[in-house]
Structure 1
């Protein structure tokens, strides 16, 4: 049995809304039609995906598993459409994603010497969309920082870089040569909402101010709302008088990797992987000058 992608899109809409009426409005179809399609999908899979009662709609264990698997699958189909469209126009183009502070130039120059006829574009990514942009085809290959959800991706480690704590310039610890993690215990943390991404395990219990990019992070730190952490390469691109960067040697270093969708098998992507691996040391030096 082939999985019907239209039914899968309908399922994701209901799973995200947990409400058939709102999902039907989002999909611009009638609610009875949506209900029939979900029942048909459940029949195809031989598993109930939702529980429905007077309290509302909830995902079953099977439904949660399907939701986890559906994102990469649907993103992959969108990426296929995009690549076919590019190929139909007779053009060759490679889009390289990058995180703040990670130079693309060393690998790009090596790649372009091998492929002078390929247009190479770059696209900035943030921590919360780096995996999605690779899976949905907005970027073909990307420099990412761990942790990242590796589902549906192939990931190649390139190099590591030290983590530094970012403090308001007025903080008592600003300007120190280096700090221990214990020096920062109980400090409010300006970081991503996901606790698994936090470099230190000793923040203030109410920490976790949600930010996406380094610019937002530094604004909150400068305003005295907490401390944060960045890779050393990021500090070379973002210097300002109202913050202070201090090394914390005992923290695990940040891991920089190259990633692409596992389904994305192309000589161009493979050649960029090779160029990135060959220039990893140069890239690390450029990001830490």
Structure 2
């Protein structure tokens, strides 16, 4: 640990990690001359970097012979640390570039690219704020909350369950209950997508009685544990038989429902039903989801505040 701290301190003087790149280059190539060609420096300069690194760390990294260069025992132990330092340096440089650019980092659930309201919000923000560079980072639902907590993203956009008090994160997901600022963009009731062969022409909403005993393809956790568990629990309460299809995110459920002629859960966010399927309201099911914009209440970039302002409209 002390060695890593020392390495980290020394690396502040060299944001390119040149000594560690030189060491790893020679170790991987097994030759100073080959490593020099790969690293595009002269062999004497490379040898000088390795000697200086050995002097500073206090032990030899290589045994040298006329035929081959081999790692010492100490060099073998040090190699993984040097690789880690190169990787950390790359992360540091990337973070510095992002800070210089003042880039707004928007994390979105992978499936949300198919949601019109999400696309419209980002597109309108980009048009209205050409001075704010923006990058969209695709994440799982759980990763969004973790990244927001670590300040790896500035804004998160995802689906959450609606309760009487508004959008409700699941306590089963790490970080999901953290203190965040929420803006609800839109709401949709949870419906059932039915094969048209099972729905008489002109039939209105489904009743809970009609759901009783019906096989219904239910949604998986890709949209969040809270939504998945609430939908499965409510369908079980009304006597529906849960059906687990090969894939069970929102768009996939619609596809497999049409393929297998099975009723499936619909969250209502992913476009019109495929041919042969019809979306049916179930008013008494009592479940809805919201598309929400999340941001940490802590100090944040000006671009994040402007994005939240856009979400209010």
Counterpart selection for 1:164 from 170, 188, 191: 191
Q: Quote the residue 2:106 is aligned against.
A: 95
Counterpart selection for 1:185 from 206, 209, 212: 212
The equivalences for 1:1-289 within 5 A come to 84-88=95-99, 90=101, 92-97=103-108, 99=112, 100-108=114-122, 110-112=124-126, 115-123=129-137, 130-132=144-146, 134-135=148-149, 139-147=153-161, 148-149=169-170, 150-152=176-178, 154=180, 155-172=182-199, 176-190=203-217, 191-192=219-220, 194-198=228-232, 200=235, 201-209=237-245, 211-224=247-260, 226-234=262-270, 237-250=271-284, 251-261=286-296, 265-278=300-313
Using the alignment, how far apart are the partners of 2:124 and 2:188 within structure 1? 22
Give the structure with the higher percent helix. Answer: 2
**145-154 or 203-212: bigger deviation:** 203-212
Using the alignment, how far apart are the partners of 1:197 and 1:83 within structure 2? 41
* Structure 1 residues 216 and 241: CA distance shift in structure 2, 3 A: same
Q: Quote the residue 1:67 is aligned against.
A: none
SS in 1 for 2:215: coil
**216-225 or 80-89: bigger deviation:** 80-89
* Structure 1 residues 92 and 123: CA distance shift in structure 2, 3 A: closer
* Structure 1 residues 273 and 207: CA distance shift in structure 2, 3 A: same
User: What number of residue pairs does the alignment pair up?
Assistant: 197
SS in 2 for 1:179: coil
* Structure 1 residues 108 and 215: CA distance shift in structure 2, 3 A: closer
SS in 1 for 2:306: helix
* Structure 1 residues 116 and 160: CA distance shift in structure 2, 3 A: same
TM-score (normalised: structure 1): 0.53
| 1:175 and 1:244 in contact (8 A); partners too | no
Q: Report the aligned-residue RMSD.
A: 3.7
Using the alignment, how far apart are the partners of 1:127 and 1:181 within structure 2? 30
TM-score (normalised: structure 2): 0.50
Report deviation, 1:240.
1.8
Report deviation, 1:84.
3.0
* Structure 1 residues 262 and 172: CA distance shift in structure 2, 3 A: same
* Structure 1 residues 180 and 264: CA distance shift in structure 2, 3 A: farther
* Structure 1 residues 134 and 172: CA distance shift in structure 2, 3 A: same
* Structure 1 residues 120 and 172: CA distance shift in structure 2, 3 A: same
Using the alignment, how far apart are the partners of 1:197 and 1:127 within structure 2? 17
SS in 2 for 1:189: strand
Report deviation, 1:246.
1.4
Using the alignment, how far apart are the partners of 2:274 and 2:302 within structure 1? 42
Report deviation, 1:231.
3.5
Structure 1 stretches of 5 or more lacking a match? 1-79, 279-289
Instruction: Render the CA deviation track for 1:145-168: whole Å, top value 9, x for unaligned.
Output: 213433235133333223331123
Q: Quote the residue 2:33 is aligned against.
A: none
